[in-house]
Structure 1
Amino acid sequence: MKFQGLTLGVPTEIMPGERRVAAIPETVKKMVAEGAKVIVEKGAGDGSYFADADYQAAGAVLVDKAQAVYDQSDIILKVKEPLMNNNTGKHEIEMMKKGQVLVTFIHPASPVNHEMVKAMSAKGIVAFTLDGVPRISRAQNMDALTSMSTVAGYKAVLLAANRLSKFMPMVGTAVGMIKPANVLVIGTGVAGLQAVATAKRMGAVVTAADIRPAAREQAQSLGAKILDLGIPDELAVAEGGYANRLSDEWLVKEREALKAAVADSDILVLTALIPGKIAPILITEDMVKSMRPGSAIVDVSIDQGGNCEMTDPGKVFELGGINIDGTKNIPGMMPTSSTWMFSHNIYNYVANLCQDGKVNINLEDEILAQSLVCKDCKLVHAGTLEAMNM
């Protein structure tokens, strides 16, 4: 059996506001059926409304403390990167042991995570990041980034609309017509397309910008106006249809092309990412200050550094009357739907990682090769090494 003799651990997530969990009773039952012992910290599923009793019924062993999960597990399943656990006074990396396998979202290329990644590598942890899963047919059921992007794009528009100082749709009143809000979505991958669709449903005038022609076509099919950024297609598209990292010269040209649209926007939804690498800075401080007071920015790309240079990771604040949202766990704000998708993604990933009761790090498998962060006390993730200039 696939997991025979392996112990999989599921601790409670500790990031403030994070309500997701890495496994639900349904996926625990699958792992147990394949021979795994599954240890779940009590209350781990409370935030997403999965009860301890249901985990027990599915075959999980419940423990009182996070340390017990880390002490007994061969593989740790998490949603977010290792953090300081204020309940124990220890960083989650300190709670782990050499050779232990971690599967989670790490976003290792993001500058705010560099020291954590170095510490994890030095400890000898074998870490896989789910944001490194390639978007290929075989990996679709493991693609947690796509699943969470679906949630993030939808929720980002709701967050912005809630903070906006005006209506989203056109509204007729006895004293005149109120114009609809202008929404600019930058980056129309999965999250961006969901943002376009949501903003359109709410009655906004939506403009979309993406350097990739296929992404622009998809946004246009949802009713968005398209902003031409002037980037040659041959420079814009990387292998697999992802956005390519542009040179500094072309990034300057892209920002210039965005300036007028940014100044005219009531809402910016920023989702532009380059897989496994730090997100490009597309919105400068001057561009933010050009927006009308009462406007809102939601930087969905913040887990990989953010598209706006003024975004403060994990914080929501105002700059000159412009609300800037750097929430790092937007999918965690819709915990039931996001947890259901994520738990199935991570189950499928681990099922691919394990064979006959062993962790099989087959680097001929592009899914594992592209998502491996560190192994044997060495940092190996290409995008992280590039971001660190190593």
Structure 2
Amino acid sequence: MTTVLVPRERRSGETRVAATPETVKRLIARGARVWIEAEAGRAAGFSDAAFEEAGAEVFASSDSLERWRQADAVLAVQAPLLCSEGGDGGLEALPAGSLVLGLLDPYRNQALIDQLELGRVSSLALELLPRISRAQAMDVLSSQANIAGYKAVLLAAAALDRFFPMLMTAAGTVQPAKVVVLGAGVAGLQAVATARRLGAVVRVSDVRPAAREQVESLGARFIEPPQLEEAPGEAGGYAREAGAVFQEAQRQILAKQLEDADVVICTAQVPGRPAPLLITEAMLAGMRPGSVVVDLAVAQGGNCAASRAEADAWVGGVRVIGAGNLAATVPQHASALYARNLAALLEVVLKEGAIHIDPEDPLLDPCLLTHGGACRRPDLRPARQEATA
């Protein structure tokens, strides 16, 4: 019987949990035994009693290290802390051949990769999941980005010095807020839909001309990207990184749009690369005092020059909100969706009560980060060598 361990998340600001009573029942039905650390789901509204009722065994944090030593699979939201980061030694105690699943931040977490190799622990990094039809039920990035895009608009609306919708009152008519969304991926489109529901006028910038149809279907206006030969386009369901000439041309277009904007929602990101800088300090200076920028890309460096992780900055009266983990501010629904994504992926390798990993499976191959004591992603090797040089 496979033992699945769900630890309490220990990284600062993380309120989500990697399993819910619903997914515990799913995994038990597939022949697994589930261990949940006490209070792992408290911040997300899931009690220890609810997990026990679903069939999980809840264990005390004081027994954590022994449980890690016996686990076959670990379900995590963010990468477990190493001892060097203040962790309790759980990751280092995992037995060889065990499996870790979660958002492992593989492009920036070289120490984790080293430990997984050293311990001969297999790992599935959900950021690397391929965007194929078979993976839709497991697409954690999309489920969490939906929440982030929604919450970003609510955050902006609460911080803005004016209403979002048009209001007709006895004292006169209030014009609707003007919102600019940078990036028409999952988070960006959800931001568009939410801002439109609140009554704002929305414009959207994206490097992919093909995004126009989706943007306009939501009632927003599409900002044409620069008409240059080096337009980045798309690869694997994500926008590719744009060159310096293209980005400068894009900033010139955006500068005019921002002069008239009340809110800017930044969502533009490129996997494994720093987020493109789309808003400079000079562009912020041209915005109306009282306007708001919410930067969801701040963990990758930010789309806005003034963005600071999980903090607010003020530039000439413009409020810039760095919001890198907004999904954790809606922990119950974020956990419910995340846990379903994770359970669907674990079910692929959980067969007859045991874990069987096929490295050649087109679903697993791209996201199987480590296996058999080696990192399987050659594109991460240069980053690792650079980090240890």
How many residues of Structure 1 are paired with residues of Structure 2 in the alignment? 384
Aligned counterpart for 1:74 among listed residues 66, 72, 75:
72
Distance 1:377 1:285, change over 3 A: farther
Match of 2:212 in 1: 216
For residues 350-380 of structure 1, the C-alpha deviation after alignment (integer angstroms, 9 at most, x for no partner) is 1113334444332322322222333455444
What is the identity, as a one-letter code, of the residue corresponding to 1:302?
V
Long gaps (5+) in structure 1: none
What is the identity, as a one-letter code, of the residue corresponding to 1:313?
A
Once residues 165 and 85 of structure 1 are traced to their aligned partners in structure 2, the CA distance between those partners, rounded to angstroms, is 45
Match of 2:102 in 1: 104
Match of 2:221 in 1: 225
Distance 1:389 1:225, change over 3 A: farther
Residue 238 (1) aligns with residue 253 (2) = no
Q: In the alignment, is the contact (CA less than 8 A) between 1:153 and 1:191 conserved in 2?
A: yes
Q: The residue matched to 2:124 in structure 1 has which SS?
A: strand
Distance 1:124 1:297, change over 3 A: farther
Long gaps (5+) in structure 2: none
What is the identity, as a one-letter code, of the residue corresponding to 1:168?
F
Q: In the alignment, is the contact (CA less than 8 A) between 1:49 and 1:336 conserved in 2?
A: yes
Once residues 249 and 77 of structure 1 are traced to their aligned partners in structure 2, the CA distance between those partners, rounded to angstroms, is 42
What is the identity, as a one-letter code, of the residue corresponding to 1:267?
V
Q: Which moved more, 1:303-312 or 1:179-188?
A: 303-312
Once residues 137 and 52 of structure 2 are traced to their aligned partners in structure 1, the CA distance between those partners, rounded to angstroms, is 26
Q: In the alignment, is the contact (CA less than 8 A) between 1:132 and 1:276 conserved in 2?
A: no
Once residues 293 and 314 of structure 1 are traced to their aligned partners in structure 2, the CA distance between those partners, rounded to angstroms, is 21
Q: In the alignment, is the contact (CA less than 8 A) between 2:277 and 2:302 conserved in 1?
A: yes
Once residues 91 and 356 of structure 2 are traced to their aligned partners in structure 1, the CA distance between those partners, rounded to angstroms, is 22
Distance 1:371 1:315, change over 3 A: farther
Distance 1:107 1:280, change over 3 A: farther
For residues 294-334 of structure 1, the C-alpha deviation after alignment (integer angstroms, 9 at most, x for no partner) is 22222223344432243222333434433222233211211
Q: The residue matched to 1:370 in structure 2 has which SS?
A: coil
Q: In the alignment, is the contact (CA less than 8 A) between 2:70 and 2:94 conserved in 1?
A: no
Q: CA RMSD in A?
A: 2.9
How much has 1:74 moved relative to structure 2?
A: 1.7
Q: In the alignment, is the contact (CA less than 8 A) between 1:266 and 1:296 conserved in 2?
A: yes
The within-5 A match list for 1:1-390 is 5-65=1-61, 66-83=64-81, 90=88, 93-94=91-92, 96=94, 99-109=97-107, 111=108, 113-118=109-114, 120-121=116-117, 124-231=120-227, 235-381=231-377, 384-385=380-381
Q: Structure 2 length normalisation: TM-score?
A: 0.88
Once residues 240 and 97 of structure 2 are traced to their aligned partners in structure 1, the CA distance between those partners, rounded to angstroms, is 34
Once residues 108 and 53 of structure 1 are traced to their aligned partners in structure 2, the CA distance between those partners, rounded to angstroms, is 34
Once residues 42 and 84 of structure 2 are traced to their aligned partners in structure 1, the CA distance between those partners, rounded to angstroms, is 19
Q: The residue matched to 1:76 in structure 2 has which SS?
A: strand
